[in-house]
Amino acid sequence: MAASSSPYVTLISNDGFEFIIRREAACVAGTIKKMLDPQSACALPFDVHAHAVIYTMRVTILTSQNNHSGVVLEKVCEYLYYNLKHKDEKDVPDMEIPPELCLELLMAADYLHV
Amino acid sequence: MSVKGRVSGRRAVNNQIRGPQSALTDFLASNNISAAQISADYERRQREARQQQEQEAAANGESVDQINDDERVEIAAQKKKRKRQQEKTLAKIKESKDYKRQKKRKDEGHDGENDDVAWDMYTKKKPLPGQLDNCENCEKRFTVTAYSKTGPDGGLLCTKCSKEQEDQKKKDQKSKKQAVSRDKRRHVQSNLLDGIVQIGSKTLQELCIKEVANNIHEVDEFGDLPQSLLNRLSQILSRRRVITSRTLDLFLRPDLETIDVYDCGKLETEDYIKLFSVVPKVQNLDLRNAGQFKDEVVDYVIERDVPIRSLQLEAANLVSNGKWAEFFKNCGHRLENLKLSWLDYSMDDDTFIGLVRHCPNIKRLKMKKCFRLGDSALVAMTDLTQLEHLSISFPTATTPGVLADLISSIGPGLRTLSLEGFSDTDDDALSVIHSSCTQLSKLRFTENDCCTDIGFASLFTNWSNPGLAFIDFSSNRSVDYAVPDGPEDPVGLASEGFEALMGHSGSRLERLDISSCRHITYECFSKVFDGKKQYPILKDINISFLTKIDTSIVAGMFRSCPELIKVTAFGCFKVTGVAVPKGVALIGVPNAQDSIVQEGDLDADLWQGLKV
């Protein structure tokens, strides 16, 4: 289980963008956390390489609407870090969400449980 | 050739040799306007004005003198200010490096006065654009431009330092803005009143939903958002009162089975018909403030045989009694949940009897603020044998015995029971609840001044019903103004009853509302919330208007209820300066300042301190 102890996780969008983020941040998203948990039923088979690679099913849904899933996933990653950074703070300033992305992002957020 | 010709032509008109002149003068000249004339006119007007002033001054010398005096005073004040500033600047200059260096130079040459050097520097003109100067910060030589900024000591800065200074200024302004953001503070307080204490950031879903709500007028369709998100959006948009015919369209999708609109105030009759035509399979319908939900809409529902199983309507007063009867007759067999509220025009006892006859499958019934229902409706309700959830509040007076009969007949099946404002009901009702209800998880019994403390105590003593998760016993108290402390044998929920309640349900209780039960004593509270007895899942307590409660009781409450997230304490004037554990919202205490939030657990020392 060398892979499971890797501090990084790669998220790949359907249009081919890869985002390498810290495992901690990735686990902010409930769905990814479940995927990474070897005990859980929806755990993914781990790659032999250092990274656990996640092909989020969600990404397919995102692209079915248009081809911006990379943009959406980027924003999701931004949020994961933003959430991690402000974990125990009070009165956290809201993250800016571009209006044109908000619906797609909402669907992604619903899927990822963030 | 032609150009030359034009030039010579002009010369012929204006046969003079002149220096270069501006394009404007040229243009004015071509339009026969002379710049010289304008300036001459201007000077003449000035001269005339001055002469007139002098004449007037001579005519009323006194008043002018007075005015001049005033001016002089003002000027004197200004002068003083200027002098002060001058002195300040001079003092600053004397401290600056440059001054010391120059002074040294001067001292070497001849011994002039100290002030002279400073004065020289003060009056020394700043270098003009294009000249060279040394930067005040980094001492580098640079070319002065019109954009060079002044440094903190009055010297000029080079391009790089200028930029840095500007950036710093901008940063300061920004951070200041954030610190004093009033709106933000208002928002936090508003959230606190809703019982939301936020630690960490909002969820991405919440952020996105807000953004969608902010841009609702640009959204063309929601796509396939799941029901839970649609519901949340509907809540936010309803709260902002922007559910209109257009925005309603966004929520309508043929495949949906649930529609919740929490504020239909802006919807018209056609909108409801549109709703049923677009979503013909809707089963769960919740429409609040549905004033325009009329007979014709019900007609449409009956005609299309919309499979409604759960119906909640608020303020649908334009549906007539006859139409209700028709609706129950045709669609009643499907109905499982029915919640009607704020009906003051239709829905009388006879209609209700029709409801009971045609809707045998009703499991959940809520009749609130139905002004035309009374005893007969309560009698009729006894036939609803499937009932599991009953919630009633009738504005008209009812007979206590009838309510007791109702509970004794349907009580065994009930899981939740809410009786609001049955003010004439006495201990009999409580003893009937005790004897017939055995599987309640929620009990509300409010606004009563007939039941006694003994009645409440015996309800909870040896009750075969397992512990309740939700208890609302607000406003059970004596309202005899002549005896403010209540009679000797306490009326309403008082000490004995409250102790019995916590003893019976404490371990499973999640929400407790005992607001205005003002006969519960201080001793009782300190016994119940002693910090040692634990109420492991109690999350929400309302202790408003229990004036006996003080800071140490609330502190004990925090100790006794580890899962607490919300304490409502309006009118508890003795609760001041309490240390609120992290993640708990304490609402309504007198000073609306930020409560002192205790990080982590309350430690023992502090606990002792609070006790004192």
Q: B interface mutation test: which of A68, A75, A103, A105 has the most B CBs within 10 A?
A: A103
Is the per-residue pLDDT at A62 higher than 90?
A: no
CB contact under 8 A, A90 and B223: no
E-assigned strands of B5-150? 132-134, 141-143
Full DSSP string of B553-566: HHHHHHHH-TT--E
| Per-residue tokens: B516 | 């205005």
Q: Which residues in chain A touch residue B598, judged by CB atoms under 8 angstroms apart?
A: none
Task: For domain A3-112, say whether CATH 3.30.710.10 is its number.
Answer: yes
The closest CB to that of B205, out of A87, A99, A106, belongs to: A106
CB contact under 8 A, A103 and B199: no
Instruction: Supply the pLDDT for residue B117.
Output: 58
To the nearest whole Å, the CA of B212 is away from the closest chain A CA by 6
Q: What is the pLDDT of residues B27-54, one digit of tens each?
A: 777 777 777 788 888 888 888 888 888 8
Separation between Cα atoms, residue B44 and residue B39, nearest integer Å: 9
Work out the pLDDT band at A68, boundaries 50, 70, 90. low
CB contact under 8 A, A102 and B202: no
The SS3 assignment for B489 reads coil
Compute the C-alpha angle B172/B173/B178, nearest 5°: 100
Q: Are A68 and A104 in contact (CB under 8 A)?
A: yes
Q: Are B356 and B384 in contact (CB under 8 A)?
A: yes
pLDDT greater at residue A52 or residue B270:
B270
CB contact under 8 A, B225 and A95: no
Amino acid at A86: H
Q: Which residues in chain A touch residue B212, judged by CB atoms under 8 angstroms apart?
A: 102-103, 106
The closest CB to that of A83, out of B200, B210, B214, belongs to: B200
Q: Which residues in chain B touch residue A88, judged by CB atoms under 8 angstroms apart?
A: 199-200
| Per-residue tokens: B200 | 């960490």
3-state secondary structure chain A: CCHHHCCEEEEECCCCCEEEEEHHHHCCCHHHHHHHCCCCCCCCCCCCCCCEEEECHHHHHHHHHCCCHHHHHHHHHHHHHHHHHCCCCECCCCCCCCHHHHHHHHHHHHHHCC
Instruction: Supply the pLDDT for residue B20.
Output: 65
Q: Are B380 and B353 in contact (CB under 8 A)?
A: yes
| Per-residue tokens: A6 | 């890797």
Separation between Cα atoms, residue A63 and residue A66, nearest integer Å: 5
Residue written as token pair 């677009």: B278
Separation between Cα atoms, residue B213 and residue A103, nearest integer Å: 10
Instruction: Supply the pLDDT for residue B10.
Output: 44
Is the per-residue pLDDT at A41 higher than 70?
A: no
Amino acid at B451: C
| Alpha carbon distance, N-terminus to C-terminus of chain B | 109
The residue of chain B with its CA nearest to that of A113 is B205
Length of chain B: 612
| Alpha carbon distance, N-terminus to C-terminus of chain A | 27
CB contact under 8 A, A97 and B207: yes
To the nearest whole Å, the CA of B600 is away from the closest chain A CA by 11
Comparing CA positions, the residue from B598, B588, B545, B576 lying closest to residue B192 is B588
Q: How many CB atoms lie within 10 A of CB B263?
A: 20
Spans in chain B with pLDDT lower than 70: 1-20, 59-77, 93-94, 96-129, 174-181, 591-612
- Percent of chain A past pLDDT 70, that is, above it, reads 69
Instruction: Supply the pLDDT for residue B612.
Output: 35
Using a CB–CB cut-off of 8 Å, the residues of B that contact A are 178, 184, 188, 198-205, 207-212, 214-215, 218-219, 222-223, 225-226, 228-229, 597
Instruction: Supply the pLDDT for residue B426.
Output: 92
The residue of chain B with its CA nearest to that of A95 is B207
CB contact under 8 A, B207 and A94: yes
Distances (CA, A) of B582 to B539, B565, B600: 14, 9, 6
Instruction: Supply the pLDDT for residue A80.
Output: 92
- Cβ-proximal residues to B382 (8 Å cutoff; 6+ apart), any chain: B405, B406, B409, B410
Is the per-residue pLDDT at A39 higher than 60?
A: yes
Separation between Cα atoms, residue A11 and residue A26, nearest integer Å: 9
The closest CB to that of A110, out of B188, B200, B205, belongs to: B205
Compute the C-alpha angle B132/B137/B141, nearest 5°: 25
Distances (CA, A) of B557 to B400, B422, B531, B597: 36, 30, 7, 15
Distances (CA, A) of B431 to B266, B383, B387, B425: 46, 21, 20, 11
Separation between Cα atoms, residue B585 and residue B540, nearest integer Å: 9
The closest CB to that of A82, out of B201, B208, B218, belongs to: B201
Q: Which of residues 88-107 of A touch B (CB under 8 A)?
A: 88-95, 97, 99, 102-103, 105-107
Instruction: Supply the pLDDT for residue B13.
Output: 47
Length of chain A: 114
Distances (CA, A) of B246 to A101, B192, B208, B242, B301: 22, 33, 21, 9, 22
Instruction: Supply the pLDDT for residue B603.
Output: 44
Separation between Cα atoms, residue B358 and residue B374, nearest integer Å: 19
Q: Are B127 and B133 in contact (CB under 8 A)?
A: yes
The residue of chain A with its CA nearest to that of B220 is A103
Separation between Cα atoms, residue B154 and residue B122, nearest integer Å: 10
Q: Name the residue ranges covered by the structural domains of chain A.
A: 3-112
Comparing CA positions, the residue from B475, B488, B457, B450 lying closest to residue B546 is B475
Comparing CA positions, the residue from B417, B557, B409 lying closest to residue B473 is B417
Instruction: Supply the pLDDT for residue B392.
Output: 96
List alpha helices for B411-519, DSSP H. Answer: 427-436, 453-460, 495-505
Q: What is the pLDDT of residues B507-553, one digit of tens each?
A: 999 999 999 999 999 999 999 999 999 999 999 999 999 999 999 99
Q: Are B280 and B301 in contact (CB under 8 A)?
A: no
Q: Which of residues 39-78 of A touch B (CB under 8 A)?
A: 65, 76
